[in-house]
Amino acid sequence: MTDPTADMPLAASSEGPRHKSLTRRRFWQVGAAVAVSAGTASLLHGQFAGAATAATSQDYFDRAAKLAGDNPILTDLITALTSGFTVPHPTAPDPLKIFDDLAVLSVGWVSATAILTSGGIILIDSLTSPSDAQNTIVPGLKALGADPSTIKYVVVTHAHGDHFGGAQYLADTYGARVLMSPADWTTLATSKPANAPARDLDISDGQQLTLGTTTVTLHYTPGHTPGTVSPIFPVHWQGTAHTAMLWGGTNPPTATTDKQTYLSSAKTFGSLMKRAGVDVELSNHPFCDYGLERMQELSGTPDTADNPFVVGTSDTQLFMQVVRAMVNGRILQDQESADSAAAGTTRAVALAAITPRTAGCGC
């Protein structure tokens, strides 16, 4: 998302998190996987193969809704991926360790995630500005008993200001190294936005970043931006090991070809998640996945054995199936809009050709 979310219109809101427990909730499963569209003019494959007519965008949106059922993580995701979605500005939560070794530092609509390793801190994203870094990230870490001076790396998931905004402050103040994909470093060099960090370290696809005994694997998932990166990394809850993912860029881009890139990334990342045994779903925009509500639930029962961010391996796959269904629908929605506009032009031309014309008097 751009700073200040130019890719999604903002709407101020004073509403806090909804109060709806997710403890012990299991996602409603639907067996067949969502197919991947081969292009905007193609017939749908997979679930809709063999249908008498080409499927529509609504078919895919209905598919996503069926997959989601009444699960708030997935219904929030569907809402966030719907065309015209307006970004909320919920109340910022208190800093919270959502795992033994993972903390969330949030301004409400966007979050930074701190991986607490034996060798220091790897920070995923840095909020919107130097002020956010100074007034949210730094005191938030201190409140949780972590030392911000041990931030060694800031991994920027993509080149939008709400993710890189505090990175240079952290580099200047604590000597943290800033990582971004080459494509998004190039985007910053071209656009020169406010608070852009100086180019530092390039992320390579599949790069393993190790600090202490923790290794984070960084995967290219272009689409939201040309160089979006999504990490997979280990976490622990009450001493039990889990594997987490964070989908690096949520809102589908405007151009249809970029949506197709996004779709391909979602399919590839889902396969990587399956291979890694990912059972924890995270987002840098907590309004997209019921994240604020899950934080509230966890803060109220910090000793619970049932961490609401641990959703299971099959259910993290379901999350990505919903992403693919929605983006497939958005791609077909683009095509339907283009077809409708073309049909309107054709009708106008045809009507013009048969409408009687009266010569002007020339006076």
At 26-61, the pLDDT tens digits run: 443 333 333 333 334 343 444 455 555 789 999 999
Q: Edge-to-edge strand order for the sheet containing 229-237?
A: 207-211, 214-220, 229-237, 240-247, 280-283
Res. 335: pLDDT tops 80 = yes
pLDDT of residue 260: 98
Residue 117 has a CB neighbour count (10 Å cut-off) of: 21
Q: Is the dihedral of CA 148, 157, 230, 254 positive or negative?
A: positive
The rounded distance, in Å, linking the Cα atoms of 218 and 334 is: 31
Q: First CA to last CA across the chain, in angstroms? A: 59
Q: Which of 286, 250, 320, 221 is nearest to 1 (CA)?
A: 250
**pLDDT band, residue 106 (cuts 50/70/90):** very high
Percentage of the residues of the chain whose pLDDT score is greater than 70 = 80
The continuous run of DSSP H or E covering 281 comes out as strand 280-283
Q: CA-CA distances (angstroms) from residue 117 to 138, 170, 355, 362?
A: 17, 18, 75, 85
Alpha helices in 150-290 (DSSP H): 161-164, 167-174, 182-191, 256-276
Res. 11: pLDDT tops 50 = no
pLDDT of residue 137: 98
Q: Which of 128, 113, 117 is nearest to 150 (CA)?
A: 117
The rounded distance, in Å, linking the Cα atoms of 19 and 139 is: 27
pLDDT of residue 261: 98
**pLDDT band, residue 355 (cuts 50/70/90):** low
pLDDT of residue 67: 98
The rounded distance, in Å, linking the Cα atoms of 224 and 330 is: 13
The continuous run of DSSP H or E covering 240 comes out as strand 240-247
Residue 259 has a CB neighbour count (10 Å cut-off) of: 23
pLDDT of residue 17: 36
Reading the block at residue 184, the tokens are: 């998004």
Q: Which of 236, 122, 226 is nearest to 184 (CA)?
A: 226
The arithmetic mean of pLDDT across residues 103-132, rounded, is 98
Cα torsion 85, 43, 227, 101 to 10°: value is 70
pLDDT of residue 170: 98
The rounded distance, in Å, linking the Cα atoms of 184 and 166 is: 16
Res. 23: pLDDT tops 90 = no
The rounded distance, in Å, linking the Cα atoms of 348 and 186 is: 44
Strand partners, 237: 240
DSSP string, 109-164: SSEEEEEEETTEEEEE---SSHHHIIIIIHHHHHHTT--GGGEEEEE-SSSSHHHH
Strand partners, 216: 209
CB contact set of 296 (below 8 Å; sequence gap of 6+): 17, 19, 93
Exposure of 321 by Cβ count < 10 A (0-12 exposed, 13-18 middle, 19+ buried)?
buried
pLDDT of residue 28: 36
